[in-house]
């Protein structure tokens, strides 16, 4: 049988740095577990623009549609800030999400015991935290028309983005949230702003419809997203699965990142409809960006990207045991006190480099055999 396929798009800034550590884990899986992937690599974001004048070449898009899964590092950076909007690095990422139709973005926020002291919140608020934000990823204000910057009649300009959701778009992401909740603690909290947005009213009605007609056994609550942001910081353990739209999901997941200690800890899985192999079309990526402030310095935490690979093992390759093995190895190195700089408190200490963290995780994997 052919090996499972994986397209790696390391991208910009710290993307290639954290991806180098993921490759060590992939190498380890091949050497020590006999799990071999057909890995191809390509460009996305600013580096693709530098090479081809576009943040995502059509050939790369075609490859992404063919593989079992895509693993992406990060895109963007100050070098590209003044590019025309249509060729900005982020457009490459958004094109992948849209054309692969990856409507359900799972962003788990889990606080490892060893980091509970390190969160900016009190230990009892975050210890044992295990929640998932399900972010709608292919619609809403990120993609709605009309959009643009236009001249007004007074010699000024106005900018427009449109929040637009259809019944089907809301129902399908709601279903993915209910399905996930059934495998967890059976609770979904849906967040929108139905108090001020018509799209929020539709969101609330359709999520409720999916609940009442298809998942009455799952507990469903609704919350305005601004309150949701506050509740995430006040008492995050009240949540199990949160389902929300594209923009609120972006903000709430960065907020949830700090519950775990660092943005460098949060992985994600973006899932679409099942492919011919029965697995969902999928792309995995850390929640963080290209971190220009630390790029090139060996300071980046590779754990978010490594845990994204673990999510790929679980959701795209049916290798839940190997996924757990990787997650346990991460847990072990953190328990052993191995820390990248982002996981150090103000009092400092001696952080390991990006590759030091990757090596420590490989050593922990060896110890797991
Ligand atoms: N998925 C993506 O590719 C993605 C996601 C978010 C932002 N971006 C892009 O990245 C660029 C920078 O954006 P930003 O600065 O707002 O967000 P960012 O996530 O890149 O960085 C925010 C802060 O978190 C820190 N940080 C992020 N990841 C880290 C890691 N793995 N280890 C240690 N520290 C880490 C950074 O040093 C920075 O201080 C922009 O061009 C933005 O559009 C890309
Ligand atoms: C880089 C950007 C397009 C992206 C988003 O806004 O979705 C990022 O912030 C994320 O969280 O994945
Ligand atoms: Mg974001």
Nearest to 8 by CA among 60, 47, 83, 54: 60
Q: Which of 12, 42, 142, 342 is catalytic?
A: 142
Q: What is the model's pLDDT at position 335?
A: 95
Instruction: Name which residue sits closest to atom 3 of ligand 1, judged by CA.
Output: 74
For the chain, the structural domain boundaries read 1-107+266-369, 130-258
Per the CB < 8 A criterion, the answer to whether 323 and 311 are in contact is: yes
Q: What is the model's pLDDT at position 349?
A: 80
Nearest to 41 by CA among 58, 18, 21, 64: 64
- Nearby residues of 213 by Cβ (< 8 Å), 6 or more positions away: none
**Cβ 25 under 6 angstroms from ligand 1:** no
Q: What is the model's pLDDT at position 347?
A: 72
For residue 303, which atom of ligand 1 is closest to its CA?
31
Reading the chain (369 residues) residue by residue, the pLDDT tens digits are 689 999 999 999 999 999 999 999 999 999 999 999 999 999 999 999 999 999 999 999 999 999 999 999 999 999 999 999 999 999 999 999 999 999 999 999 999 989 988 888 999 999 999 999 999 999 999 999 999 999 999 999 999 999 999 999 999 999 999 999 999 999 999 999 999 999 999 999 999 999 999 999 999 999 999 999 999 999 999 999 999 999 999 999 989 988 998 899 999 999 999 999 899 999 999 999 999 999 999 999 999 999 999 999 999 999 999 999 999 999 999 999 999 999 987 777 889 999 999 999 999 999 999
Q: What is the model's pLDDT at position 2?
A: 84
Q: What residues have their beta carbon closer than 5 A to ion ligand 3?
A: 250
Please say if 226 is a catalytic residue.
yes
Q: Which of 42, 193, 245, 317 is catalytic?
A: 193
CATH number assigned to the domain with residue range 1-107+266-369, chosen from the 4 options 3.40.50.2300, 3.40.50.12780, 3.20.20.140, 3.40.718.10: 3.40.718.10
For residue 292, which atom of ligand 1 is closest to its CA?
12
- Nearby residues of 331 by Cβ (< 8 Å), 6 or more positions away: 112, 113, 114
Per the CB < 8 A criterion, the answer to whether 351 and 339 are in contact is: yes
Q: What is the model's pLDDT at position 229?
A: 97
Binding-site positions:
77-90, 97, 107, 135, 226, 250, 254, 289-301
Ligand 3 centre from 28 Cα, in Å? 30
Q: Give the separation between CA 56 and CA 260, rounded to whole angstroms.
A: 32
Per the CB < 8 A criterion, the answer to whether 76 and 46 are in contact is: yes
208 sits in the region (left: phi over 0; alpha: psi -120 to 50; else beta) called: alpha
ipTM: 0.98
Its pTM stands at 0.96
**Cβ 192 under 6 angstroms from ligand 1:** no
Ligand 3 centre from 251 Cα, in Å? 6
For residue 253, which atom of ligand 2 is closest to its CA?
11
- Element spanning 26, H or E: helix 15-33
- What is the Cβ-side half-sphere exposure of residue 132, based on CA atoms within 13 angstroms? 24
Please say if 193 is a catalytic residue.
yes
Please say if 142 is a catalytic residue.
yes
Q: What is the model's pLDDT at position 258?
A: 83
Kindly state which CATH superfamily the domain 130-258 is placed in. Answer: Isopropylmalate Dehydrogenase (3.40.718.10)
**Cβ 289 under 6 angstroms from ligand 1:** yes
Q: Which of 42, 68, 245, 250 is catalytic?
A: 250
Please say if 366 is a catalytic residue.
no
Q: What is the model's pLDDT at position 345?
A: 73
Ligand 2 centre from 294 Cα, in Å? 18
Binding-site positions for substrate:
97, 107, 135, 226
Q: What is the model's pLDDT at position 177?
A: 98
Q: Report the alpha-carbon angle 219-224-228, nearest 5.
A: 75
Ligand 2 site residues, Cβ closer than 6 angstroms:
76, 90, 93-94, 250, 287, 289
Same fold, 1-107+266-369 and 130-258: yes
């Amino acid at each position: 049988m052919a090996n499972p396929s994986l397209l790696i798009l390391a991208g910009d800034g710290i993307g290639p740095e954290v991806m180098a550590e993921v490759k060590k884990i992939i190498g380890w899986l091949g050497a020590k577990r006999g799990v071999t992937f057909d890995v191809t690599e390509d460009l996305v974001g600013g580096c693709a623009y530098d090479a081809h004048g576009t943040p995502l070449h059509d050939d790369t898009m075609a490859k992404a549609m063919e593989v079992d899964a895509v693993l992406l590092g990060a895109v963007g950076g100050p070098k590209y800030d003044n590019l025309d909007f249509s060729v900005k690095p982020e457009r490459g990422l958004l094109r992948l999400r849209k054309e692969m139709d990856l409507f359900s973005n799972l962003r788990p926020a889990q606080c490892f015991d060893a980091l509970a002291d390190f969160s900016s919140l009190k230990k009892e608020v975050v210890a044992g935290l295990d929640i998932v934000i399900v972010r709608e990823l292919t619609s809403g204000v990120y993609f709605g028309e009309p959009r643009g910057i236009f001249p007004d009649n007074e010699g000024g300009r106005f900018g427009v983005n449109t929040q637009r959701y259809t019944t089907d778009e809301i129902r399908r992401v709601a279903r993915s949230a209910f399905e996930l909740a059934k495998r967890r603690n059976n609770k979904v909290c849906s967040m929108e702003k139905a108090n001020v947005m018509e799209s929020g009213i539709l969101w609330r009605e359709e999520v409720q419809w999916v609940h009442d007609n298809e998942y009455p056994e799952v507990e469903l609550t609704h919350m305005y997203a601004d309150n949701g942001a506050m509740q995430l910081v006040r008492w995050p353990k009240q949540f199990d699965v949160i389902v929300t739209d594209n923009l609120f999901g972006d903000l709430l997941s960065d907020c949830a990142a700090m519950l775990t200690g660092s943005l460098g800890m949060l992985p994600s899985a973006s899932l679409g409809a099942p492919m011919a192999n029965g697995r969902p079309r999928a792309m995995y990526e850390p929640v963080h960006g290209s971190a220009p402030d630390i790029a090139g310095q060996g300071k980046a935490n590779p754990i978010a990207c490594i845990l994204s690979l673990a999510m790929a093992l679980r959701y795209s390759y049916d290798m839940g045991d190997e996924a757990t093995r990787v997650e346990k190895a991460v847990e072990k190195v953190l328990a052993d006190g191995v820390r990248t700089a982002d996981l150090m408190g103000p009092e400092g200490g001696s952080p390991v480099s990006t590759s030091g963290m990757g090596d420590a995780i490989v050593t922990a994997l060896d110890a797991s055999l």
